[in-house]
Structure 1
Amino acid sequence: MKARAGALLLTAVLLAGTAGSAAPRREARWNTPGAGNPLLPGYFADPSIVRDGGRWYIFATIDPWGDDRLGLWTSDNGRDWTFSQPNWPTKQAATSPTSGDSKVWAPSVVKAPNGRWYMYVSVGSEVWVGSAPSPAGPWADANGGKPLIARDFAPQYHMIDAEAFVDDDGQAYLYWGSGLNWVNGHCFVVKLKPDMVHFDGVPKDVTPAHYFEGPFMAKEKGRYLLTYSDGNTTKDTYKVRYAVGTSPMGPFIEAANSPILETDAGKQIISPGHHAIFADKGRSYIFYHRQALPFAMGSDRVLRQVSIDPLTVRADGTLEKVGPSHDPVIPAFAAKRTRGLRWTGKGADALAADDNYATAWRPEAGKAPVLTADLGAVRDVRESRIRPAFVIQPRDLRIEASQDGRTWHEVAAEKGVSGSPIILRHAGKARFLRMTVQAKEPAILEWSIF
């Protein structure tokens, strides 16, 4: 439920002391066309972000409440993201005699001083560790087919949300821990040996005030900033706090201005948390999930989306409060997504053309699941790129074309496809395209036509 990125990943997690928080382009509503948050098209949580070879990688939990595998998003510009799933871990491959029923959650991916990449991930309420030559994989278990931290290590707490931190001297540390039944969270830390797998000493309880889960360690001006989540992610109480120490092993005292990121009801930003901090191009950012909108309190089916905002580090190494936004300025990423031809639609159809991943087209009750796009004039078209709200669910897609809105002919069809974007090629001329979507949950976030 965290992340690393940019040059920070090559050595240690360092916050840029000169970072500044740029003002949003506008005070966007959650359903404003073109809004930059959510960053990812779909329902994901607990993000970890890294950069390698000019490419961004985001590893995340698939909502609701995980899947048998993780989600992986890749992008060369930070705006146009492509979905896949790493080969490891899987629920089946990362299971032990002490594992629980929980799915695959909360990846933390870091580059170690030995040049390899390591992933610390929660599976079955246990922490597993894998390794790969690059974030793209291939990933493999690194601990002999057993959990690094078993479920019964401290059975009165939840053994999840592990996060690695590599200090300036190359020493690595691992932080983890949550509570049970949304209470009594505890944070543990231990030194790691150079292999990034075995403990170098005995784990220590360093739980700061108001800690629940999701630890993320950062260092600035000689201070160690233990950032973490508090509250309940299924409600509107989830938030990010931080505590300060002089050693990565603690003790940690909660900062006077904590929490730094929390619900803003006026903006309809609900329960931001389970974050990561990274720096790129001299600026720092906080990367987190928050509730998808519209949000219904009390629902057992929690759907979250990944967002990003600038983070300001003060001269003394402490953190400014974050003003969560719908349209952040992120110099690290391209300013706009690649969208293709402009088109319009009637009613809910327009929500699939508004360049906003918070809004989605859904078929009206009792009506056929058909989404119609009007290109305004007869145009040359070659393909559709479709971003479903639920990216791992299979769906049948059929696209028809028309030049006059009366005579239609099929130009593309696929059965059982998933992912994001789903690409269907259909070279020809059309003013209108209509797409029939057959799926358990047919919602479409964006339909881009090229």
Structure 2
Amino acid sequence: MLTLVLANAFGQQPMGQLPMEKVNPILPGYFADPTIKKFGDIYYIYATTDNEMLASGVPTVWYSTNFEHWYNYTMEVPSLESVNLRNFWAPDIIEGDDGRYYLYFGNCQAGCNIYGYVSDTPVGPWEKLNKDDSPVIAHNYPRKGFPSLDAQFFEDSDGRIYAYWGTWVHYNGGYAVGELDTDSMAEVKNSKNIPLEETPEPFEAAYMMKKGDKYILMYSGGSCHDETYNVRYSHSDTPYGPFVPGENNPILSTNEEGTVHGPGHHSVLEENGKYYMVYHKHDYPMTRGGLSRQVSVDEMVFENDSTIRKVIPAHKDLQDLRAPDLPRNLALGAEATASSFYHLQSLQYDYAYKPSLATDDHNATMWKAADNSFPQQLTLDLGKVTDIKRVMTQFEFAGYYYQYKLEHSTDGENWNLYADRSSNKTPGSPLVDDNDVNARYLKLTVSDVEKTGLYAAVWNIKVFGSLFEIPLDLQGKPSNEDNGAKSAHQKLVDIDAKGFPSQNEFVHLPNSGSLGGNFEKEGEVVIEEGEEGIRTFNFTKGALVLDQAVPRSLEWNGAFTVATWVKNPQIAKEGECLLSWCDRFRFNLANSYNALHFNSGHYGAAAHLDGHFDMGYNTLPTANEWHHIVLTFDGVVEKIYVDGQLDNSQNMTLASQITNAKIRIGASDVGEHFSGHMAFLQMYDYALTQKEIGELMLLTTPLRKK
């Protein structure tokens, strides 16, 4: 049982302590928009890789023969000639009459299009269906402005294949339907829009299935970013409609207990006369923006051919899908200790990622180290000396490599090597290590990770006393990336106006922080002494730009602190950037941009993409008064402090893009100029504590006692 505090749409109001069902999620990690298929005796789940740059992770597939042990594989999908693909959104797959497999992804990097690929196997490697990079379903089809995303394909009993697609359809005129050309599998024809009134309260993710003679068009409503997301349906006598809304919509939505939050974008598995809805829901504690989703499954029951009952989330253990006589996980419930664990404390949550959460065999919970330093250790006590032949470790991110070693012991004092993955560069989940030893204790030492700022974190570690077949046993390709950069635990930037004389025509100013270098003046910035006797940088339409490269410790999910004393005479609704160190529109993906602002809008404090990911001030600092403003990020939680007090916070996973970016004080790369006074600014490559922030505020205050 997991004790939790549920938050509302943006995690602001606690609602109580609740038990979580163990059956869901079924996958360990952040994945969304699942399409489930069964080819032969293997189940496959194709999904969007979530929790990264607007759900722009690697193209991935999970596979299993028993619905208990799922294995992740990063597929080889060719890029476009003109664009290095990052979006592999909402996949679907069809087995063609020719025995080949046809995979379709949505992508918004060259217009919101659906692209197609073909392979001789369900897992690739994939070839382009259209060698000229033309999409299977293009943007603006079937009408101008229509975004072609979230395509799902349905094969009717006469062999015809229909496509259903569309997102943001509540202001795009409804979903679209068309027929796939089965000769090429690379073109959709005879397309039309489905009128909005036929699918009330829609958002995205249309899914067609057939029950008897009825065509059931299911879809997701509400918003994928919050608790309003849900599953709805309409039915018709033909694939093109007209469709009649279901009488009991929505059939799956956030439940009263909150254990299922924002469920939607589903597919359906029919198995032995029963139907199962495979969908995603939000993680807990919930990451800002709702794009750290996890895949779940529940039985779906038809009242009759045109009526679906309300889905009861996680109401049983789904034993009908699980193979009997699965090997016993010796680590289930085992006592676990760790070198450290993370205690999330914010305005929204008080949650501990304890070591015991790595041995509960629950894909919603994990052990996470206290910070992003290495090495970190997790030790299991199995209770007695026993045979250990296989260890399966599910790290937090399946798409990135982790480096580690496993050791075993009979007494907890003398240790021998079980497996050495200290040079591993191959991602995957689980990472499987086989040996044949007798031991009571098992110790996992995580020494490094692929991406800067990621933590040593484990959803589950499983131990078995016997070997068993792994379907396909695919070997992923090693990454070409170096290990993530480490924090130097230093003050990178330090500039204080009182250290310089009043002047208008300076060219550059030295940085006293560890990065060194000089801040070069761009535009209108002067150093002046005001009526209060405080020397300041007065920004009107200018910036101070550091001539040193942004350090790698600030890339990706790297921790940071920005602290400044500022006075903003008039607080605008937008802009007013105090410090930026990423380029705002080069990548245009969520959380690839980070900056501290001082405005009254939704990104008043921290800018990332839009209102779903940005963080404003809960209490806007008063205009034309001096304030100490501090933005921190420790790799898990982003916090904004005003005058020493925590004002707002949110859970985040960043993907900061620093290549060719500059550290800019008083502006972003596209302007957004600060128009006020700044006395002091420092930046660190780690997160200061609230106590340290209070001490810094007193130490650096420009205010004079009367």
Report the TM-score range of the alignment, normalised by the length of the smaller protein. Answer: 0.7 to 0.9
Q: Name the aligned partner's letter for residue 55 of structure 1.
A: I
Shift of 1:183: 5.3
Find 2:37's aligned residue among 16, 36, 50: 50
* Conservation of the 8 A alpha-carbon contact between 1:113 and 1:170: no
Asked whether 1:418 is paired with 2:424, we answer: no
Tell me what 2:389 maps to. 382
Find 1:404's aligned residue among 404, 411, 420: 411
1:271-286 alignment runs, 5 A limit:
271-286=262-277
Tell me what 1:119 maps to. 103
Q: Secondary structure of the residue that 1:146 maps to in structure 2?
A: coil
TM-score, reference length from structure 2:
0.55
1:89-128 alignment runs, 5 A limit:
90=78, 93-94=79-80, 103-124=87-108, 125-128=112-115
How many residues are treated as equivalent by the alignment?
A: 412
Asked whether 1:167 is paired with 2:131, we answer: no
Structure 1 distance, partners of 2:279, 2:289, is 21
* Conservation of the 8 A alpha-carbon contact between 2:229 and 2:254: yes
Tell me what 1:288 maps to. 279
Shift of 1:62: 0.7
Tell me what 1:237 maps to. 228
* Conservation of the 8 A alpha-carbon contact between 2:215 and 2:239: yes
Q: Name the aligned partner's letter for residue 188 of structure 1.
A: A
* Conservation of the 8 A alpha-carbon contact between 1:390 and 1:441: no
1:199-220 superposed Cα distances (whole Å, 9 cap, x missing partner): 3324434442211100000111
* Conservation of the 8 A alpha-carbon contact between 1:108 and 1:120: yes
Tell me what 1:442 maps to. 456
Shift of 1:446: 0.9
Shift of 1:152: 4.3
Asked whether 1:198 is paired with 2:187, we answer: yes
- Identify the range of structure 1 (182-191 vs 47-56) with the bigger mean alpha-carbon deviation: 182-191
1:77-133 superposed Cα distances (whole Å, 9 cap, x missing partner): 121111112222x4xx14668x9x861110111224454332221122310112233
Shift of 1:338: 4.4
Asked whether 1:149 is paired with 2:133, we answer: no
Q: Name the aligned partner's letter for residue 137 of structure 1.
A: G
Structure 2 distance, partners of 1:38, 1:138, is 28
* Conservation of the 8 A alpha-carbon contact between 2:228 and 2:262: yes
Is there any run of 5+ residues in structure 2 with no aligned partner, and where? 1-17, 339-353, 465-706
Judged with a 3 Å threshold, the aligned counterparts in structure 2 of structure 1 residues 204 and 59 are, in CA distance, closer, same or farther, namely: same
Shift of 1:263: 0.4
Shift of 1:276: 0.6
Tell me what 1:186 maps to. 174
Judged with a 3 Å threshold, the aligned counterparts in structure 2 of structure 1 residues 113 and 152 are, in CA distance, closer, same or farther, namely: same
Structure 2 distance, partners of 1:232, 1:102, is 23
1:138-158 superposed Cα distances (whole Å, 9 cap, x missing partner): 432212332112334456343
Structure 2 distance, partners of 1:63, 1:337, is 30
Q: Name the aligned partner's letter for residue 257 of structure 2.
A: G
Find 2:369's aligned residue among 363, 370, 379: 363
Tell me what 2:13 maps to. none
Q: Secondary structure of the residue that 1:350 maps to in structure 2?
A: helix
Tell me what 1:15 maps to. none
Structure 1 distance, partners of 2:436, 2:326, is 23
Q: Secondary structure of the residue that 1:418 maps to in structure 2?
A: coil
Q: Secondary structure of the residue that 2:378 maps to in structure 1?
A: strand
Structure 2 distance, partners of 1:444, 1:433, is 14
Judged with a 3 Å threshold, the aligned counterparts in structure 2 of structure 1 residues 366 and 292 are, in CA distance, closer, same or farther, namely: closer
Structure 1 distance, partners of 2:310, 2:226, is 21
Q: Secondary structure of the residue that 2:303 maps to in structure 1?
A: coil
Judged with a 3 Å threshold, the aligned counterparts in structure 2 of structure 1 residues 339 and 155 are, in CA distance, closer, same or farther, namely: farther
1:311-365 superposed Cα distances (whole Å, 9 cap, x missing partner): 1112243211111127442513326864532332148222111111111111134
Shift of 1:370: 1.1
Shift of 1:259: 0.8
Judged with a 3 Å threshold, the aligned counterparts in structure 2 of structure 1 residues 366 and 210 are, in CA distance, closer, same or farther, namely: closer
Judged with a 3 Å threshold, the aligned counterparts in structure 2 of structure 1 residues 203 and 185 are, in CA distance, closer, same or farther, namely: closer
1:214-363 alignment runs, 5 A limit:
214-295=205-286, 299-300=288-289, 302-325=291-314, 327-334=316-323, 338-342=327-331, 343-346=334-337, 348-363=354-369
Percentage of matched positions with identical amino acids: 32
* Conservation of the 8 A alpha-carbon contact between 1:120 and 1:164: no
Asked whether 1:177 is paired with 2:184, we answer: no
Structure 1 distance, partners of 2:269, 2:384, is 45
Is there any run of 5+ residues in structure 1 with no aligned partner, and where? 1-27
Structure 1 distance, partners of 2:258, 2:139, is 39
- Identify the range of structure 1 (404-413 vs 38-47) with the bigger mean alpha-carbon deviation: 404-413
* Conservation of the 8 A alpha-carbon contact between 1:157 and 1:179: no
Q: Name the aligned partner's letter for residue 29 of structure 1.
A: P
Structure 2 distance, partners of 1:243, 1:322, is 16
Judged with a 3 Å threshold, the aligned counterparts in structure 2 of structure 1 residues 326 and 346 are, in CA distance, closer, same or farther, namely: farther
* Conservation of the 8 A alpha-carbon contact between 2:140 and 2:147: no
* Conservation of the 8 A alpha-carbon contact between 1:80 and 1:337: no
Structure of higher RCO (CA pairs closer than 8 Å, 6+ residues apart): 1
Judged with a 3 Å threshold, the aligned counterparts in structure 2 of structure 1 residues 385 and 80 are, in CA distance, closer, same or farther, namely: same
Q: Secondary structure of the residue that 1:345 maps to in structure 2?
A: strand
Judged with a 3 Å threshold, the aligned counterparts in structure 2 of structure 1 residues 138 and 366 are, in CA distance, closer, same or farther, namely: closer
1:17-32 alignment runs, 5 A limit:
29-30=19-20
Shift of 1:178: 0.6
Larger radius of gyration: 2
Find 2:26's aligned residue among 27, 39, 52: 39
Q: Secondary structure of the residue that 1:314 maps to in structure 2?
A: strand
Find 2:439's aligned residue among 430, 443, 447: 430
Q: Secondary structure of the residue that 1:108 maps to in structure 2?
A: strand
Structure 2 distance, partners of 1:337, 1:232, is 39
Tell me what 1:7 maps to. none
